[in-house]
């Protein structure tokens, strides 16, 4: 019988993976777990992937990735599946029993309404792992989690259920996922070093040998779980706060009739300045959760974090404010009850199918109450969404649009929209006064000039003569 991976030498560890003798289970095959499973497979491991999503399970068992927008993932998943190097199951205990390295990528959501963190998926996986944990196994938590989770929740359950001890019998690391959905495999393999944190030196040693086979940029080792947990959250909080700042600065530019983008580019030529782009709000599963985890932790510590709290609040308000400003502008010139609005994009950002906490949904839900009809087109969203107002009409193809729209809003920056905007197709769907509002700055100067030549009035977030941040005096004169 082979020795458990926790007790291997560095050289044996490397061989175990590259010679195809390492059995890995991945709990959660979502935007993060599926690329992880594929990356480990391609590095040489045999993988058992666990999903609780029935629809995804059916597709995966046919060799089809549920995330077709990521072409590399789609291709490589198919290859792994056809080579029988990845097995798909919904049975966590089967996966737990039949693997040496157990990777966890399930969500730990923060519920804004109740201000509570839902650990149930992680606890479920931990209980399953604890029941069958063997001497020499290693567990690797890759979900983003509130600080302290690896030790206080995962390790506690593992030790209680298995009666084994960290460092003596098994290994444990926290290794956050830093990928950008849509280009996950490239990020994992080429773009950033892998962060690995653990209070157990041997766990760090083994996992760094493994991840050095996958990540070209190598690994960064941290000496505690909590430091690695915070590292991931700080990346997200930095972006959340800076997006709030970018939106404030864009508002100033709009009111002063100055191009924010022009100023931003020039400012960012200085190495200490990293101004972000403005938009319609911040969504996705990550950034809102991360700031909320940190705000909750600060409360526990009796610390005030006004910068993070205000950034979060401003970002939450933004899609509603953008909707209000649009309606106010339209009301100043048209009868609202006669207006049709076409919205491009529902996902939380471009080139993904992920609609979790999407600001575009808040925006649509707000404007749909005020006008005759709102049509929504998103190449990645073909079905009604639970949290989208039923009055909003999703069109699968733009050719389905029953009537022309007076207003077109761009709420997500999908690559496809850039092409659409430079074609005549969109203009043909509009009728006077042909108002185009670009919240995501996808329209460049050339496209703007072309659209204006067709008689459209084009407003771009953060650009001169716009009303997006609130009514502009230049427009109301």
Ligand X SMILES: NC(=O)c1ccc[n+]([C@@H]2O[C@H](COP(=O)([O-])OP(=O)(O)OC[C@H]3O[C@@H](n4cnc5c(N)ncnc54)[C@H](O)[C@@H]3O)[C@@H](O)[C@H]2O)c1
- Binding residues for ligand X, per CB under 6 A? 27-33, 50-53, 92, 105-108, 121, 124-125, 143-144, 177, 179, 181, 285-286, 289
- Shortest Cβ distance from residue 177 to ligand X (Å)? 4
Instruction: Identify which of residues 31 and 174 has a Cβ nearer to ligand X in the complex.
Output: 31
**Overall residue count recorded for the chain in this entry:** 477
Which two structure tokens, joined as six digits, stand for 237?
């909080």
> What are the beta bridge partners of residue 408?
342, 436
* Contact (CB, 8 A) for 131 and 93: yes
Instruction: Identify which of residues 142 and 314 has a Cβ nearer to ligand X in the complex.
Output: 142
Give the whole-angstrom CA distance, residue 95 versus residue 189.
Answer: 25
Give the whole-angstrom CA distance, residue 210 versus residue 274.
Answer: 33
Instruction: Identify which of residues 340 and 355 has a Cβ nearer to ligand X in the complex.
Output: 355
- Shortest Cβ distance from residue 56 to ligand X (Å)? 6
- Shortest Cβ distance from residue 469 to ligand X (Å)? 28
- Shortest Cβ distance from residue 432 to ligand X (Å)? 41
Q: Is 386 helix (H, G, I), strand (E, B) or coil?
A: coil
Instruction: Identify which of residues 31 and 439 has a Cβ nearer to ligand X in the complex.
Output: 31
DSSP string for residues in 73-133: HHHHHHHHHHTT-EEEES-HHHHHHT-SEEEE-----EETTTTEE--HHHHHHHHHHHHH-
- Shortest Cβ distance from residue 21 to ligand X (Å)? 25
Instruction: Identify which of residues 104 and 426 has a Cβ nearer to ligand X in the complex.
Output: 104
Give the whole-angstrom CA distance, residue 364 versus residue 155.
Answer: 43
- The closest of 60, 66, 127 to 92, measured between CA atoms, is 127
Q: Is 170 helix (H, G, I), strand (E, B) or coil?
A: strand
- Shortest Cβ distance from residue 242 to ligand X (Å)? 18
The residue nearest ligand X at its CB is 30
Instruction: Identify which of residues 105 and 360 has a Cβ nearer to ligand X in the complex.
Output: 105
* Contact (CB, 8 A) for 34 and 63: no
- Shortest Cβ distance from residue 434 to ligand X (Å)? 36
Instruction: Identify which of residues 13 and 144 has a Cβ nearer to ligand X in the complex.
Output: 144
């Amino acid at each position: 019988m082979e020795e458990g991976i926790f007790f291997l030498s560095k050289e044996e560890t490397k061989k175990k993976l590259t010679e195809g003798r390492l059995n890995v289970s991945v709990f959660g095959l979502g935007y993060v777990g599926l690329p992880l499973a594929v990356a480990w497979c391609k590095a040489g491991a045999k993988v058992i992937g666990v999903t609780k999503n029935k629809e995804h399970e059916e597709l995966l068992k046919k060799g089809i990735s549920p995330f077709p927008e990521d072409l590399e993932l789609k291709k490589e998943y198919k290859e792994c599946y056809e080579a029988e190097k990845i097995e798909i199951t919904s049975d966590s205990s089967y996966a737990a029993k039949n693997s040496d390295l157990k990777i966890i990528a399930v969500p730990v959501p923060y519920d804004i309404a109740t201000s509570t963190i839902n650990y149930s998926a992680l606890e479920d996986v931990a209980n399953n792992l604890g029941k069958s944990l063997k001497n020499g196994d290693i567990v690797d938590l890759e979900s983003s989690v509130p600080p302290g989770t690896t030790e206080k929740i995962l390790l506690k359950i593992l030790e209680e259920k298995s009666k084994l001890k960290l460092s003596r019998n098994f290994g444990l690391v926290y290794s956050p996922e830093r990928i950008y959905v849509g280009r996950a495999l490239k990020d994992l393999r080429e773009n950033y070093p892998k962060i690995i944190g653990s209070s157990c030196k041997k766990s760090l040693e083994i996992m760094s040998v493994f991840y050095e086979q996958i990540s070209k940029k190598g690994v960064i080792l941290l000496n505690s779980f909590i430091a690695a947990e915070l590292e991931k959250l700080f990346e997200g909080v930095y972006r959340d706060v800076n997006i709030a700042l970018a939106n404030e600065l864009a508002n100033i530019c709009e009111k002063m009739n100055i191009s924010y983008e022009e100023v931003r580019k020039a400012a960012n030529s200085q190495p200490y300045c990293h101004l972000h782009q403005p938009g319609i709000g911040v969504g996705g599963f990550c950034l809102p959760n991360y700031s909320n985890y940190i705000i909750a932790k600060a409360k526990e510590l009796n610390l005030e974090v006004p910068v993070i709290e205000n950034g979060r609040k401003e970002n939450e308000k933004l899609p509603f404010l953008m909707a209000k400003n649009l309606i106010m502008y339209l009301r100043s010139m048209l009868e609202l009850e006669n207006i049709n609005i076409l919205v491009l994009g529902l996902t939380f950002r471009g080139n993904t199918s992920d609609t979790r906490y999407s600001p575009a949904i808040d925006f649509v839900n707000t404007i749909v109450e005020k006008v005759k009809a709102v049509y929504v087109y998103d190449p990645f969203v073909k079905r009604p969404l639970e949290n989208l107002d039923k009055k909003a009409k999703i069109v699968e193809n733009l050719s389905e649009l029953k009537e022309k729209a007076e207003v077109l809003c761009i709420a997500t920056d999908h690559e496809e929209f850039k092409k659409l905007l430079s074609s005549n197709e969109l203009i043909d769907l509009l009728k006077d006064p042909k108002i185009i509002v670009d919240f995501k700055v996808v329209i460049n100067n050339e496209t703007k000039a072309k659209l204006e030549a067709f008689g459209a009035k084009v407003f771009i977030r953060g650009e001169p003569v716009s009303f997006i941040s609130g009514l502009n005096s230049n427009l109301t004169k």
